Amino acid sequence: MEPMNPGQTHSVNLDLDRARRCGFPEVVYGEGKTVTTLADIFRHLLKDRISVLATRVSIEKAHQLLERFPDGTYNEQARTFRIRVKADTADQPPEECRVAVISAGTSDLPVAEEARETLDWMGVDVTMIHDVGVAGPHRLPAHLDKLRDVNAVVVVAGMEGALPSVVGGYVDCPVIAVPTSVGYGANFGGISALLSMLNSCAANVTVVNIDAGFKGGYVAGLIATQARRRKDDSRTKPRVD
């Protein structure tokens, strides 16, 4: 029998080198995995000093995982399970990485919370703005001051999915649109919102998959951390006259 790699279990082969290549460690997708498998993965990550983020973890699994990892935290709304590891300060993302997460309605909060948990795991400062959908057009302008100096905005919306285009017309940064499955029959489980966002006339809007709060948060976090790193690098480089 061949020896296992450092991050390999009998059912999982973890990518422990991902942070070096991609900027952040591997994230665990919880659906379809047993509590035993998740616990095994978490132990391997923690052994390598990697903070754990697992998405789509049911509350039943979370209760059992908390018995095994009492230092863990579970966000029931986002369905995320996290275990923090105090990292070396040299490995921390640069300061002043800011992302705003905007939700159209309270029904979109689970997806928005998944984005927020992801950004927090990435070390990004998050501003949350809730319930500012287009049905009440006066609500978004009241929060525009919070969108100044952010590196990216995540906009989570269901129904007709119009909010990202509106936000895109107010900001000078990338807008990550996250369609949700919230809506009545003709919403087709989020497909209508997805198509509306893909057809956005706002040039700074890009779109991820339906209910993909993690993906929206992760992409925004990469934009924020890379933009700040490049800015910091330009300050430290010697001037050439």
pLDDT digits (tens, 9 = 90+) for 189-198: 999 999 999 9
Are the beta carbons of 126 and 78 closer than 8 angstroms?
Answer: no
Q: Give the start-to-end residue ranges of the domains of the chain.
A: 18-90, 93-228
pLDDT digits (tens, 9 = 90+) for 40-59: 999 999 988 999 999 999 99
Residue 236 has pLDDT above 70, yes or no: no
Give 177's pLDDT tier (boundaries 50, 70, 90): very high
Closest CA to 211 of 137, 103, 85: 103
What pLDDT score does 23 carry?
81
Residue 30 has pLDDT above 50, yes or no: yes
Give 200's pLDDT tier (boundaries 50, 70, 90): very high
SS3 4: coil
| pTM for the predicted model, two decimal places | 0.85
Residue 3 or 235, more confident: 235
To which residue do tokens 């949700």 refer?
180
Q: Which two tokens stand for residue 217?
A: 């948060």
What pLDDT score does 96 carry?
73
CATH class of 18-90: alpha beta
Q: Tell me the three-class secondary structure of 22-61, residue by residue.
A: HCCCCCEECCCCCHHHHHHHHHHHHHCCCCEEEECCCHHH
Mean pLDDT of all residues belonging to the chain? 87
**Percent of the chain with pLDDT strictly greater than 70:** 85
What pLDDT score does 136 carry?
86
Residue 24 or 96, more confident: 24
Residue 99 has pLDDT above 90, yes or no: yes
**The domain over range 93-228 is classified in CATH as 3.40.50.1970:** yes
- What angle, 0 to 180 degrees and rounded to 10, lies between the N-to-C axes of helices 109-121 and 213-236? 30
What pLDDT score does 210 carry?
97
Give 89's pLDDT tier (boundaries 50, 70, 90): very low
SS3 222: helix
Instruction: Say how far apart CA 212 and CA 110 lie, in whole Å.
Output: 10
Give the CA radius of gyration of the chain: 19
What pLDDT score does 1 carry?
36
Residue 224 has pLDDT above 50, yes or no: yes
Task: Enumerate long-range contacts of 80-84, CB under 8 Å, 24 or more apart.
Answer: 80/53, 80/54, 80/55, 80/113, 80/114, 80/117, 80/118, 81/30, 81/38, 81/52, 81/53, 81/54, 81/57, 82/51, 82/52, 82/53, 82/54, 82/117, 82/121, 83/42, 83/46, 83/51, 83/52, 84/51
What pLDDT score does 240 carry?
56
Residue 121 or 235, more confident: 121
The partner residues of 13 in beta bridges, in order of sequence, read 8
Residue 8 has pLDDT above 60, yes or no: no
Instruction: Say how far apart CA 81 and CA 40 lie, in whole Å.
Output: 14
Give 2's pLDDT tier (boundaries 50, 70, 90): very low
